[in-house]
Chains A and B, each alone.
Chain A
Amino acid sequence: MSMFEDIPVDVGIIYEGERIRGRDMQVELGGPREDYKFELVQARGMDEIEDGRITIIGKDIPELEEGKNTTFGLLIEVAGKEIEKDLEGVIERRIHEYCNFIEGFMHLNQRYDIQMRLSMKSYQKGFNSFNHMGTVLSRLYKTEMSFIEKIQLTFMTDPEVIKEWYGKAMEIYEARDARARGMNDDDVEVFYGCSLCQSFAPTHLCVITPQRYANCGAISWFDGRATAKVDPKGPVFEILKGDCIDPLTGEYEGVDQVIREKSLGEIEKVQLYTAFGYPHTSCGCFEGCAFFIPEVDGYGVVHRNYKGETVNGLSFVTISDLTAGGRQVDGFHGLSIEYMRSPKFLAADGGWDRVVWMPEEIKERIKNYMPPEIIPKIATENTVSSLDELRTFLTEKGHPIVETWIEAAVEAPKGVGELAVPTLEMPASALPIQGIPAGMGIRIILKNAKIKAEKMIIKVDKGR
């Protein structure tokens, strides 16, 4: 790269992924043996910084002990008319990428967990000052992110100065995370899809939004963004969310289109914030599952580690078998624990006001994210052990669901020994109906059907 003629080593994408062995390194900046290390990007006013200025506070590379680790801080200040606070994280993220372009330089992780190594070989070639590193970074930044008009870098190896900055940096990271946690599905144009589970749930696709984590609980919207960037054609990819069809249920044009494509037409559409109608499909490895309890018209939520029976006598395994495999089953909804912390959690079905039972363990884990007034009104395995007890509990505690019973009771008196099946879906091919040609793709959906049968007889039509 001619852009780096004055740099003693090569700079280029081919050096990404380079690892420097401990025995081959000139110096390690940060790393697990150092308590204080950080890298931070801050947006500044146009007249607050001097473009291209590189400052070294403390020792430069040659003065650092050979083959050893050192405390380290890097502050990058940027300015530009279009630069807002929100971009700091995005710009900071590039330090990792750009540092790894340097021949004989390794950069791992980010923020307060960074670990960098410079190889002896590159050092001996003349890459022997933070000034080189600063030059490479500022040129790459200004080339790749044209909105950066000014950039100023400060390298720190002085322990006292680093300690001071470290405290400030931690506060800044925390504030940034708090903003991210408050991010809304409306704030972004892009969601992410994950098809990792399609090997065992071929029609399943996780839709990952700022307010809806992947069912496994491992992939946030930010992970989606990072993963899709590295391998855009991989199992985690961008979904342009497109027009919002229904803000309440969370249906988006772009999502529906991708779902149809990825499920090979099996799933027509998905509504993200509901367990009825067109719920988000369930893979097989969801962390928890919401299940509808028709007797009280509310939801129970159970998580994978819960070994007992739910209030209506089901185990997690039974519940998960009912919905796993990439199906849309009304009233059964695989989800992540993180989604339960989201304001969009079953939002279309009434949210927390509709939840009546959950294991104590999970309640304890997420109670800080639940509306405080509902917490004592939701039963656990410690407070009730049958549906009758649940009904009494909800009535006594004044759970909001109780009010809705009174209206419903008039039209639907309770039967005895009935089997409640939230949804029965039958593929058209299994049900020949006169006048409708095969392959027409009709579905018969019985919602909230209560079926009572003494006997079921299946007869083979001998005429065929």
Chain B
Amino acid sequence: MARKLVISISGKGGTGKTTLTALLLKWLIQNTEEIPLVVDADPSTNLPDILGVKLPRTVGQASKEMKDRIEARALSPTLSKKDILEADVFQTLVEEERFDLLAMGRTEGEGCYCFVNNVLTRILDTLTGNYSVTLLDMEAGLEHLSRRTDRDLDAMIVVTDPSKMGFETARRIKELTEEVHIDVKDIYLVGNRFPPEMEGLLKETAEELGLELAGAIPVDLNVMTYNMTGKPLLDLPEDSPAYEAIELIAARIGLDKL
């Protein structure tokens, strides 16, 4: 089978993880034959909106329903819960023409999700195994690292805006990744909303942090207008400065070799 790329996009809240995910997806759609899987792993589930996809039922909702059915004793005692949840998760998958989307949402309610989550991990591994490229739009901050939701990655992209806090989060993400032994081949830094005059500073800071710089996305009026008016970023004009910057980033992280 062909090589499979699993790439996560993380960083401080508000730095543009979801925007970068959408732009990378747009690049993949326009430059390759691949059908990528995009996973919205952020509990606030913004990615469907930005991609112009109707908000799907989330995996979290499926897990919650599973829990409820267990409690209500509505499941057959002999059926495997893994099989039921597996079919359920597959049915939350949104199949668009050029990509599939899975929204994780969040698990609500009390009680123990150990078993459900354990089963879920295997279900998701199986699912991602079907795609040559998977983009994971992670939740802000570091929590997902300690929970090891993003394990066995080919690349991790950390997004930062021009702020000390953005870089600080990037540094901590790198440290924590090493600490909790997440198996990731490459960690890249991408600067978002960096005017050309600041790119030098971005490069210097990346070097100080020991992170490989994959590129910088400039401030882009189109992106801002689309995000504000709720137009899907996939429809962004190709001469938008942000999209033009993606070309280089995609090449740096190896998407051009798919």
Do B118 and A230 touch (CB < 8 A)? no
**Chain A contacts of B80 at CB under 8 A?**
93, 110, 222-223, 226-227
CB interface residues, B 71-89, toward A, < 8 Å: 71, 73, 76-84, 86-87
**Chain B contacts of A194 at CB under 8 A?**
115
Bin chain A's interface residue count. 35 or more
Most buried by A among B35, B78, B115, B118: B78
Do B76 and A285 touch (CB < 8 A)? no
Do A21 and B87 touch (CB < 8 A)? no
Whether B95 is near chain A, meaning CB under 8 Å from some CB there, is yes
Q: Find A109's partner among B86, B97, B122 (CB 8 Å cutoff).
A: B86
Instruction: For A217, give the chain B residue with the smallest CB separation.
Output: B70
Whether A137 is near chain B, meaning CB under 8 Å from some CB there, is no
Instruction: Tell whether A23 pairs with B97 under 8 Å between CB atoms, given A17-B126, A115-B87, A216-B114.
Output: yes
| Complex CA distance for A89 and B118, rounded to whole angstroms | 25
CB distance from A249 to the nearest CB of B (A): 25
Whether A180 is near chain B, meaning CB under 8 Å from some CB there, is yes
**CB-CB contacts of B93-109 with A at 8 A, as 1s and 0s?**
00101001000000000
Do B130 and A18 touch (CB < 8 A)? yes
Whether A220 is near chain B, meaning CB under 8 Å from some CB there, is yes
Whether A447 is near chain B, meaning CB under 8 Å from some CB there, is no
| Complex CA distance for A32 and B130, rounded to whole angstroms | 21
Q: Find B90's partner among A115, A223, A305 (CB 8 Å cutoff).
A: A115
Instruction: Tell whether A285 pairs with B111 under 8 Å between CB atoms, given A17-B126, A111-B76, A177-B78.
Output: yes
**CB-CB contacts of A67-93 with B at 8 A, as 1s and 0s?**
000000000000000000000010001
CB interface residues, B 125-139, toward A, < 8 Å: 126-127, 129-130
Whether A398 is near chain B, meaning CB under 8 Å from some CB there, is no
Whether B29 is near chain A, meaning CB under 8 Å from some CB there, is no
Whether B112 is near chain A, meaning CB under 8 Å from some CB there, is yes
CB distance from B64 to the nearest CB of A (A): 13
Instruction: Tell whether A217 pairs with B71 under 8 Å between CB atoms, given A21-B35, A226-B80.
Output: yes
Instruction: For B84, give the chain A residue with the smallest CB separation.
Output: A109
Can you list 5 A-B pairs, Cβ within 8 angstroms, ordered by A? A108-B86, A109-B84, A110-B83, A216-B114, A227-B119
Please give the residue numbers on chain B whose beta carbons come within 8 Å of chain A beta carbons, in ascending order: 35, 67, 70-71, 73, 76-84, 86-87, 90-91, 95, 97, 100, 110-112, 114-116, 118-119, 122, 126-127, 129-130
In order of increasing CB-CB distance, the 8 nearest A-B pairs are A285-B112, A226-B80, A216-B112, A109-B87, A218-B115, A108-B87, A17-B126, A19-B130
